[in-house]
Structure 1
Amino acid sequence: MHDSDSVWEFAIADRIAFGNGSVEELGARLAGRSVSTLLLVTDEGLLEAGVVDAVRESIPTAIEVSVFDGVEPDPDLEVYEAALEAADAAEPDAVVGVGGGSSIDVAKVTGSLAGTDRELLEYVAPPIGDGASVPESGTTVVAVPTTAGTGSESSPAAVVSLPERELKVGISSRHLYPDLAVVDPLLTASLPPAVTAASGMDALTHAIESYTTRRYDAKPEPDHPDERPDYGGRTELTDLYAEKAIELIGSNLRRAVNNGNDLEARRNMALGSLLAGVAFTNAGLGATHALAYPVAGENHTPHGVTVAALLPAVMRYNASTAFDRYRTIAQLLGENLEGVSDREAGDRAAAAVEALADDVGIPSGLRDLGVEEGDVPRLAEKTEEIQRLLVGNPRRVDREALEEILESAY
């Protein structure tokens, strides 16, 4: 079947409100959905910093608001279970997640699973869980991101940390798409430089991986459920989102990190992150994210920092299968490729990512994240189990290839 004959689907959050001051309209949007009780899911830091106040001020007094502020970075089972208990007590019509990807992930799961009897891990794909289907819920779920990077506001997935196994796993379902995403760039203006940098590199990784992931006419049907990809492969539409995201992030991340009050840069980063999120939740990801799960799980490193350390090595490994894609990426990141060969263009793309990460203060390799050379075989073995991500990688990867990438990223 040729590309022109292929059939693909495209999914997104039910509604997206984007722009400076868009959070001020949240109350009216909730009223339009007949919401009378609401659970606001966030973390203590945002609550104390007053960021949550900007959201609460937009909510009419007629709506009863409860707050769960127990979200922590890389939330584990205890955090999710505590949020579900808060929902059982409040019995909300709507759950609003305010914060980074962690708060939004917890809010999505809470809105979907409150009142169910199953254990949370049953919804995780094998071999960790049973891969149970997430039920459709009547609870309205709203995502209000305060970072520009995770894409959780446009994603049908949530990440759960399992520190006792030194692992992160995901729950994925179309029922985890938020009913409404309110993306107000002004909420990101107070982000410290390090968080701005890490979340921005995460968004760039989403864009680059979705732009270079495999393109297939239908999802493969492997023998094991966990080998089935989360999403459907890149399409003409996801390419448009990814290309614009790469351009926006590449030309604005340095500005946002070095001057948090540069509202134009903040707006462009928020838009780039949103577009990258839409792209990867439809096209899928690849080896960078697969490798990041065990690396971050063992070394407790921020996700954005982890993928930034891995991405250049993965790009160099993959470039030989998609020279045209990596040439375009290099150009979108500002590289002049006149007279440059395809092979060198692929290296230029990876070098441009390295330069961007270095300019915004991200560690340049796995060594700086605490990874030791002796860890490589074990990390490769753990990564090989995450076939739902590896199956979308443009170049085939086996244990030996994963070790090669890790050693290159070291």
Structure 2
Amino acid sequence: MSGELYEPETVWEFEMGDRVKFGVGASSELPSAIHEHGASSALFVTDQGVADAGIVDHLRGVLDDHDIETAVHAAVEPEPSVAVYDEAIRAAETFDAELVVGVGGGSSMDVAKTASALLGDDGSVLDYAAPPIGEGRSVPATGRPCLCIPTTSGTGSETSPVAVVSVAAENRKIGLSDRRLRPAMALVDPTLVTSLPPAPTAFSGMDALGHAIESYSAVRYDAKPRPSTPEERPDYNGRSLLTDQLARKAIELVGDNLRRAVDNGNDLDARRNMALASLLAGMAFTNAGTTAAHALAMATGAVVDIPHGVAVAIFLPEVMRYNAQSAPERFDEIVALLGADDTTATASEAVEELRHDVGVADGLGEFGVTEDRVGELADRTIGMDRLLSRNARRMTRDDAERILRRAL
């Protein structure tokens, strides 16, 4: 008899966008960032709300007297569909953009990253999705640079190699994942977030917390099989000492600042700290990975009209309860990092307290989800193999059903 013995992974990798500019006024350095990439034309990709708020006009004004031609594509929608992505790619081709600037929340930045990477390439965005939804093509190396300027604090898209696409024909949300989708630079300016209303401030902040907690409690890099070649190592390769440090600080920053940012959007110190929390959590989860709370949120969000950050906030405490036995010391530490008043509280209770304080819904029932949909949502969740494989505790369909019922 012969066979191959299990070989654990022994190497972790860490990646992020080429550079980050962070701080009050970082967006004013946009002309330098564009010229640094040798571009003389830039397409701004955003949504109509950000455009109406005057943020894009402000950024275009920053480019005055710098010999940079600009155009605006303000047609991104929440949970962007294949058509939204393809339309942005066509807009970049029509303008012949030498560089793309994504301005807004995660959807706008995801669309901008994809449009820049696929500019000039034939086919649809779905060609680059993994089978069976897409053809699994690799993103070409012929795209244009992308700069990302977030106007929310939560998604982490400004440093990630992923773009989330809603596929209506399949009633699914999928993630395109490729290292060439990472932006060339992120310009994180807290002043651009001060006008964000309390509700999306809360939603996006809870999403950042989900990124941080899930990357901090994900499967460790050396608790999984070694890939056959370095090229086969996944982008999300498990938590490491470095991702732990980023996640830990992000959790602490959210615990100290999200309530303040929701209560007073002009509290620039709180906004700065939430922007930093989002950035650090984004750097952590785009290397360690997210887990079951995001699997449940994506599965539910594909068929239920619910903001992604709200779905994460609803599922996160339930998944933490489920996972607590696998890493009790980590969940005990999360209580302290969140600064919970009750030091005897569990980590899931501390998250629920924060969720309540910032006014986020505490159950799926508020979005019309009833008991009769639990089976369907459990089936969809179990299909999220990529995310569930990183969860600290193995999850079955019955486990997913129990979590969904608790989340109603």
- TM-score normalized by the length of structure 1: 0.93
Equivalent-residue separation in structure 1 for 2:86 and 2:221 (angstroms): 37
Asked if residue 297 in structure 1 is aligned to residue 299 in structure 2, the reply is no
Q: Structure 1's 117 and 5: CA in aligned 2 closer, same or farther, altered over 3 A?
A: closer
Match of 2:153 in 1: 148
Partner of 1:225: none
Match of residue 276, structure 1, among 273, 276, 281: 281
**Separation in 2 of the partners of 1:196 and 1:122?**
34
User: Shift in Å at residue 217 of structure 1?
Assistant: 2.4
The aligned counterpart of 2:268 is 263
Matching residue's letter, 2:179: R
Counterpart position of 2:214 = 209
Q: Distance in 2 between matches of 1:174 and 1:333?
A: 32
2:53 matched residue in structure 1: 49
Task: Give CA deviations for 1:358-379 in whole Å, capped at 9, x if unaligned.
Answer: 1111110111122111111111
- Per-residue Cα deviation, 1:90-147 (whole angstroms, up to 9, x for no partner): 1111000000001100000000001111321121122322222111234111000000
Matched, 1:349 2:347: yes
Q: Does the aligned pair in 1 maintain the 2:48–2:75 contact within 8 Å?
A: yes
Q: Distance in 2 between matches of 1:220 and 1:387?
A: 16
Measured in 2, the distance between the counterparts of 1:63 and 1:229 equals 38
* 1:12 counterpart residue number: 16
5+ long unaligned stretches in structure 1: 223-227
Aligned mates of 1:112, 1:314 — CA distance in 2? 35
Counterpart position of 2:230: none
Runs of 4 or more above 2 Å deviation = 163-166, 216-222, 335-338
**Cα RMSD (Å) of the superposition?**
2.0
The one-letter code of the counterpart of 2:52 is E
Give SS of 2:62's match: coil
Could you tell me whether the CA contact under 8 Å between 1:16 and 1:180 is conserved in 2?
yes
Equivalent of residue 255 in structure 2, options 239, 250, 254: 250
Task: Give the match for residue 391 of structure 1.
Answer: 389
Spell out the pairing of 1:6-405 with structure 2 (5 A cutoff).
6-61=10-65, 62-217=67-222, 220=225, 230-335=235-340, 348-405=346-403
State the identity %. 54
For residues 245-292 of structure 1, the C-alpha deviation after alignment (integer angstroms, 9 at most, x for no partner) is 000011100100010000000000000000000000000010001111
* C-alpha contact 1:84 1:113 (8 A) present in aligned 2: yes
Give the letter for the 1:168 counterpart.
Answer: K
How big is each residue's C-alpha offset from its partner over 1:320-377, in whole Å with a ceiling of 9 and x where there is no partner? 0000110111110113676x5xxxx6xx110111111111111101111221111111
- Once the 2 structures are TM-superposed, how far is the Cα of residue 166 of structure 1 from its aligned partner? 2.5
Aligned mates of 2:335, 2:136 — CA distance in 1: 38
Partner Cα separation in structure 1 for residue 36 and residue 178 of structure 2: 26
For residues 74-103 of structure 1, what are the alpha-carbon distances to aligned partners after superposition, in whole Å with 9 as ceiling and x for unaligned?
Answer: 110111111011011111110000000011
- How far off its partner does 1:31 sit? 1.4
Cα distance in structure 2, aligned partners of 1:107 and 1:221: 34
Aligned to 2:43, the other structure's residue is in SS state strand
- Secondary structure of the structure 1 residue equivalent to 2:317: helix
Residues 9 and 225 in structure 2, CA contact (< 8 A), matched pair in contact too: no
Supply the distance in 1 between the matched residues of 2:22 and 2:137 (Cα, whole angstroms): 33
Give the deviation of 1:219 after TM superposition.
5.9
Give the total of aligned pairs: 397
Alignment partners' CA distance in 1, 2:391 and 2:234:
10
The whole-number CA distance in structure 2 between the counterparts of 1:31 and 1:215 is 40
Residues in 2 aligned to 1:108 and 1:135: alpha-carbon distance in whole angstroms: 13
